[in-house]
Amino acid sequence: MSEVSTNPEVSTKQQVKNGLRAASSMMLGYLPLGFTVGVIALRYGVHPHTALSMSALIYAGSSQLMAMELLYSGQPLFSILLTVFICNLRHLLMSASLAPHVRSFSRPQRSMFAFGLCDEAFAIHASQLPQRPLSFIEGITTNLALYGALLLGTAVAVYSGASEVLLRQMGLDYAPIAMFVVMLVMLIEDRLQLASAALCGILAVGLRQSPAATWSLVLATAIGATLATWQQLQREQRPKRRPLHSLCLDEVSRPQP
């Protein structure tokens, strides 16, 4: 790992390989999600081509499901778009947390990278960042592989006319959760993150039952992260109150001018 971060001249082929390797396991969970989107579209009588375009253009599994449900229940366009906007506000937070790591990308590169920044792609990039910096080719390869998996899943479902029964019989509706379970385990580095993640999870479920249901993910994450930040900043300030420790370190490091 350390070789990769110190040597920026990793070959393009190697970067593509790394990107595919990072995405390969996640595609396993993404195919069933695309499949689910397709199956639900068929249930609502959406034309196969339209359903596929939906996955291709919006490329956000959960909000596609939500948009279809709202369309089907006859909600006005404005309220559907508002719901999609609020539901996807979490991407604002995700994107912001990756922003410091894409400084080396050009503007078109950033926009291409941003299009593919679904929950799963974000989770992959975020879990790899502590080990090595983000490279454009590797990142975009991961994103494209996941994009392909969602499209393939949707296409198989809509053109085979699959039903939900098969999906359920094979337990595939659990696959997206299993992916998030592994990502979560990989993303948590210390106890404070564990505590904040647990809080976010519980808050999200609680808020889903409240009138602010559409805001649940954003509100839960914001509250959890804010409390954890407050705690972390408090901890960082503590050593300043114990000058003895830092003095000792200074004494040790000083006498070698």
Among 5, 49, 99, 161, binds another protein (CB under 8 A): 99
Cα 113 to Cα 141: distance, rounded to the nearest angstrom: 10
Spatial contact of 145 and 27, defined as CB atoms under 8 Å apart: yes
Among 21, 85, 243, 250, binds another protein (CB under 8 A): 85
Q: 5 CB contacts (<8 Å, ≥6 apart)?
A: 131, 132, 133
Among 43, 72, 161, 163, binds another protein (CB under 8 A): 72
Tokens of 122: 């974000």
**Closer of 67 and 141 to another protein (Cβ):** 67
Task: Kindly state the smallest distance separating residue 68's Cβ from another protein, in Å.
Answer: 9
Among 10, 20, 65, 144, binds another protein (CB under 8 A): 65
15 binds another protein (CB under 8 A): no
Spatial contact of 33 and 61, defined as CB atoms under 8 Å apart: yes
Task: Kindly state the smallest distance separating residue 256's Cβ from another protein, in Å.
Answer: 31
Among 10, 126, 144, 162, binds another protein (CB under 8 A): 126
Helix (H), strand (E) at residue 100: none
* Number of other CB atoms surrounding residue 63 within 10 Å: 18
Among 15, 42, 122, 128, binds another protein (CB under 8 A): 122
Task: Kindly state the smallest distance separating residue 246's Cβ from another protein, in Å.
Answer: 19
Residue written as token pair 């792609």 = 121
134 binds another protein (CB under 8 A): no
Q: Considering only residues 150-169, where is the footprint of another protein by CB under 8 A?
A: 168-169
* Number of other CB atoms surrounding residue 47 within 10 Å: 11
Task: Kindly state the smallest distance separating residue 10's Cβ from another protein, in Å.
Answer: 22
Backbone φ/ψ region at 163: left (φ over 0), alpha (ψ -120 to 50), beta: beta
**Closer of 68 and 141 to another protein (Cβ):** 68
Angle at 54 (CA atoms; ends 48, 60), nearest 5 degrees: 135
197 binds another protein (CB under 8 A): yes
Q: Considering only residues 216-245, where is the footprint of another protein by CB under 8 A?
A: 216-217, 220-221, 224-226, 228-229, 232-233
Spatial contact of 169 and 142, defined as CB atoms under 8 Å apart: no
**Closer of 15 and 62 to another protein (Cβ):** 62
108 binds another protein (CB under 8 A): no
Cα 218 to Cα 169: distance, rounded to the nearest angstrom: 33
